[in-house]
Chain A
Amino acid sequence: MSSMEHYSYNRRKWVNRVMLGLCAGSAGISIMVLLFILGYILFHGISFLNLSLITNTAKPMGETGGGMRDEIIGTLILVALATAIGLPTGLMAGIFLSEFGGTKMASAIRFIADVLTGLPSIVVGVFAYAILVRPLHSFSALAGGVALSIIMIPIIARTSEESLRLVPNSLREAALALGISRWRTVLSVVIPGARTGIITGGLLATARIAGETAPLLFTSLGNYFGFQGVLKPISALPLSIYHKATSPYSVDKEQAWAASLLLILMVLIISIFVRWLASRGRAR
């Protein structure tokens, strides 16, 4: 080995080590941040997390005790509303983009969906306020659900488009060559092939909107009296975290910690469920 070759070999080896170190360091930092947040909330929230928090309703301001049953139910209703609107719309948009997406219009829709994904969620809230709250003269669960579904649609559209695209073209051709119509091919061959990806995308979008606060500020507002119908204001976990964390009473602050922990647990359970589902899909 000449000295020139030796020099370049050594240099390459060191560059490799430095880059590998940087990558490992960055990965470490991002995991540390997550662990720190989880640990911090766990540390503060765990002592206030008890059964009555889940089963009891809120007590009047300043009184100790009480739970967040209404907020939990509110969040579930909002998520259900958003999913009922967002899942079919997003999924069908994804099918359009992947299966019929060769046109200029499809590229435009794809671009708009990407822009929509990056839209600040508070803007979405203001939009829902303008189109639903003002005309109906009332804050409402419906407006909250619509706002959340607007955040959900582009995420589901793009993730389901991506997973549909992963289905090999040879399967579409196989089905078409059997004299199966286009829509039936999509429904019975392409979608089952992308099932795992579509479910993963849907659940991740659900987990994402479950924790959104900003769009709810102008739409579902919050409510101390439990669920009163979709056209009335409704309380939600993220909203009450926001309100209780800024309250002067220490009992409220404690509950904010506990509610944060509860919300993270809900999202975590969804994510773990998604992982489990995805790994099961691969194993088959």
Chain B
Amino acid sequence: MVVLNKPGIYNVGNNIINLKSKPVIITEQKGGFSVKSLNAWYGHFLAIKDITLDIPPKAITSLIGPSGCGKSTFIRCLNRMHEVTHGARVEGQVLLDGEDIYNKAADPVAIRSRVAMVFQKPNPFPAMSIFDNVAAGPKLRSFRSDRHELEEIVEQSLRQAALWDEVKDKLRQSGVSISGGQQQRLCIARALAVKPEVILMDEPCSALDPVATLKIEDLMQQLAQQYTIVIVTHNMQQAARVSDKAAFFLMGEDKAGSLVEYGDTNQLFTNPKDRRTEDYITGRFG
């Protein structure tokens, strides 16, 4: 964290800041992606083709597009979850804070704790209590764990996920005993507990009702102050409501998904540059 309190021109990280009057606090700008010529396959099937884009840190980037356009595949490439599927492979570069996560020396296990993930369907561990669900990351990543430390992490993560007040009296109950919306926030808390820089969300609200969806959206905006958030969504209103940047994906004639347009959410929704983007957001197809 850097505090700038005198006017002047500063170089923080790679950003030039021209400070005129008010003091500003600049938190460490970690968690930005730079994706270069990314291709991803399932066996012989090319799922996404030649994706190049930069995802800014501490902001919400949404990925939109019709089904099968490769948004989910793309997001799974950002924490090396793509390769978990049998026969799947990736080519190209994904730089996280300047370092290629597909570098030979990079350990996927370590990367996944920096880039956490929330899935489409809430998936708390059914055999574990609410407490153990949140504690699972820190606990199962090390051989020993300090009870007191875990309790702190669990409370902090649940508070961050805006779930603490609802579950603080039933931490011993099963993780699947709460409602769907609460389960999804539990999954977010579980992801926060490993202290990531980035949170990937693959259609996190598609299994939830509108009220629960709204809560998650509020939560995302809270979290974007500290974390980079990348969200895949089918819901264009949601993308427009929550995200700072938006990327539009489309499946090409060869069935491989590619990036059609990427820019500020406002610009993309009000003044799209590509004809296909306009057709999609105005509901002409998809």
Contact = CB atoms under 8 A, between A and B. Distances in A.
B127 A178 contact: no
Given A170-B121, A170-B123, A195-B127, A176 B84 contact: yes
Contacts of B190: 174, 178
A189 interface: yes
A181 B139 CA distance: 12
B9 interface: no
B178 to A, nearest CB: 16
B140 interface: yes
Contact of B191 (A178, A181, A193, A195): A178
B125 A177 contact: no
B101 to A, nearest CB: 13
Contact of B84 (A168, A173, A179, A184): A173
Which DSSP category, helix, strand, loop or mixed, fits chain A's interface? helix
B137 A179 contact: yes
Contacts of A177: 79, 81, 112, 116-117, 119, 191
Interface in A142-190: 168, 170-181, 184-185, 188-189
B250 interface: no
B240 interface: no
Nearest to A194: B127
Contacts of B174: 284
A116 B86 CA distance: 28
A185 B81 CA distance: 14
B140 A184 contact: yes
A177 B140 CA distance: 12
A25 interface: no
Given A175-B140, A179-B141, 18 more contacts: A170-B121, A171-B123, A171-B125, A171-B126, A172-B84, A174-B119, A177-B117, A178-B112, A178-B141, A179-B111, A179-B194, A180-B141, A184-B140, A185-B140, A188-B136, A189-B125, A189-B127, A192-B128
Interface of A: 102, 168, 170-181, 184-185, 188-189, 192-193, 195, 284
Interface of B: 79, 81, 84, 86, 109-114, 116-117, 119, 121, 123-128, 136-137, 140-141, 174, 187, 190-191, 194
6 contacts: A170-B121, A174-B119, A174-B190, A177-B81, A178-B113, A180-B140
